[in-house]
Structure 1
């Protein structure tokens, strides 16, 4: 007799461990529901809106599965091909095979009905119906802050992403972000380096590292937090996935911080969704006229909170500030000319000639000093002949 697929899903045993065991004749109601949620959340040709449409019409994933062609035809479809795609995926579905392949990749699935599903996500109106997870999920009592921002960020943005993330880690506040280049990845690396946890919400399957340049971060997240997605294993990082995943970033967070964002950016989508979800939003202000600050300054103009220090975050999360009486500081002794050059630098990059003009030193002299400062880890060359403080 063929074994129940969902009995296998719930058993937590590998195929070798289950050989010779007595197979169940009947599926429990919980097993049936788990299997059908797994199926619904694995459909690739339908987005969340289409799945919500089916649930609104039929009631449960089981009833969607059991519906015949006539009943399915009563549902509003974009076109005939849309309906055919549903039946093609349903006919090709092999729950046991899909589950085995997922387990081999170290991924687990929970539906929105599972007790381990994050309560914070259940509070948002368009919560994901299921999550595919590698590593951990934030615990219910775990304080979480999202840090999001520009992929092509400045030294100013990187500096504050690191500073905020490391300080939050010191208070056991976990960081949620999208593992993207720029602000997201920088903040998540800093959180882990500071001894904290971080969770990445991906716009692809949890088995896919995107972008590939963040492979090191992806591996560290598995050890110090987790990666999760509403998209099943193997799902490609398609452009329309990312605006959708942003609601999960804000939904999992107690507070969202935006560090550098252009007038039109994914970070502003995250901020807007956070406000709709009733989350606090704070913004790092930037220079007027700077493209990377345009989005942040617009949010401030619309009433978002201005980030000034991590004390504000601690206050909003009701966390008592620590007394650092034995804080050690490292000082690097600089020669007078090195100190002069360093003093005119900012977190926004300056070109070599501007630095020379402000210090009354020759460009050749300034260039040699900047090399020494970079070796000390005090200065970065953002682009050719443009330097900033680190």
Structure 2
């Protein structure tokens, strides 16, 4: 990404009331972040959901000063970043409507590999939860997954340490900038995490671990992985928010059950009872549910010749051919076709044998 575009993206991030969803919408409609700040006010107001108040926010001079401060830090080479339109941006997170515009990271992890699981849970991890977490990661090590967590007390740090002990890659998603560290007591684990993966955040380098940042952090933990595993949770807790987000992204959620009167099993038991999580009795439940035990063989499929597709159908077909199976809403957004219209087009394509529907409103060639 050119420096001019990066600077414009930083200005968008600094603009009050412009979150990731609105920012990405503006970029897709106008063509680039840089062009947004060159666009006429009348053109911006024609965009659905963009009003006078938001346009005024984009014209504030203070956002330039804030963006310049962060830009200077990035230009020193002190931080690596990836943009939501870049190839190396986490592919699963790319298709989350509220995924971050920019991600900053330190370390070296291929977060686009297939097997990535997030492990979260209570900070007050019991011996039961700790033992299961360690056994789980040790068993999964044979399949070489990346282990994701939030570097917090309890379950998070237990998952990171278990990954390191089993020679697995792990990376920590932070609720603050890379110049800070929370909790401070976990500084002793930084080097080993860096050597086995790294740290990832959406926050600028000086951002502190404010309370609301942890909730924002949770959507990255849920969105970047194939499945989210809840080890233990009280009746209310941040890991339940992560589970809810993972479900909204159509990701698998697993929860470790416990005795009905255990305070830190109530959250997991409720998730299972309400069908918001698969019951997790053993590591094999993860392996079987995610099909890790099925040999990955290259299946030869005789191509169907002479499928008669109109230009709109061909556009969708080419998109799925290049991007693999995708959610209905993602196809609609990327192909710029309204969902109501796309649904009928996909039905016609399915009848022609060009695509097939999958559970969870997903489609593939």
Same fold (TM over 0.5): yes
Distance 2:212 2:262 in 1: 27
Q: CA 1:71–1:265 in 2, change beyond 3 Å: closer, same or farther?
A: same
Q: State the Cα distance separating 1:45 from its structure 2 match.
A: 7.5
Distance 1:309 1:242 in 2: 29
Q: How many residues align?
A: 291
Q: State the Cα distance separating 1:83 from its structure 2 match.
A: 4.9
Q: CA 1:42–1:194 in 2, change beyond 3 Å: closer, same or farther?
A: farther
2:62 matched residue in structure 1: 89
Q: Secondary structure at the match of 2:143?
A: coil
> Contact between 1:199 and 1:221, CA under 8 Å: does it hold in 2?
yes
Q: Secondary structure at the match of 2:229?
A: strand
Unaligned 5+ segments in structure 1 are: 1-9, 11-29, 323-390
Distance 1:108 1:265 in 2: 31
> Contact between 1:257 and 1:281, CA under 8 Å: does it hold in 2?
yes
Matched, 1:310 2:307: no
2:355 matched residue in structure 1: none
Q: Secondary structure at the match of 2:285?
A: helix
> Contact between 1:261 and 1:293, CA under 8 Å: does it hold in 2?
yes
Distance 2:269 2:116 in 1: 24
Distance 1:195 1:40 in 2: 39
Task: Give TM-score, length-normalised by structure 2.
Answer: 0.70
Q: CA 1:244–1:297 in 2, change beyond 3 Å: closer, same or farther?
A: same
1:384 matched residue in structure 2: none
Alignment partner of 1:216 out of 183, 188, 205: 188
Larger radius of gyration: 1
Q: State the Cα distance separating 1:106 from its structure 2 match.
A: 3.5
> Contact between 1:42 and 1:231, CA under 8 Å: does it hold in 2?
no
Distance 1:43 1:204 in 2: 18
Distance 1:42 1:228 in 2: 19
Matched, 1:118 2:94: no
Q: Which moved more, 1:165-174 or 1:33-42?
A: 33-42
Q: State the Cα distance separating 1:31 from its structure 2 match.
A: 5.0
Q: CA 1:301–1:208 in 2, change beyond 3 Å: closer, same or farther?
A: same
Q: Which moved more, 1:187-196 or 1:102-111?
A: 102-111
Q: State the Cα distance separating 1:150 from its structure 2 match.
A: 0.3
2:231 matched residue in structure 1: 259
Distance 1:131 1:137 in 2: 13
Unaligned 5+ segments in structure 2 are: 296-365
Matched, 1:292 2:264: yes
Q: Secondary structure at the match of 2:37?
A: helix
1:377-388 to 2 correspondence within 5 Å? none
1:149 matched residue in structure 2: 121
> Contact between 1:199 and 1:226, CA under 8 Å: does it hold in 2?
yes
Q: State the Cα distance separating 1:93 from its structure 2 match.
A: 4.5
Q: CA 1:180–1:217 in 2, change beyond 3 Å: closer, same or farther?
A: same
Distance 2:237 2:22 in 1: 25
Task: Give TM-score, length-normalised by structure 1.
Answer: 0.66
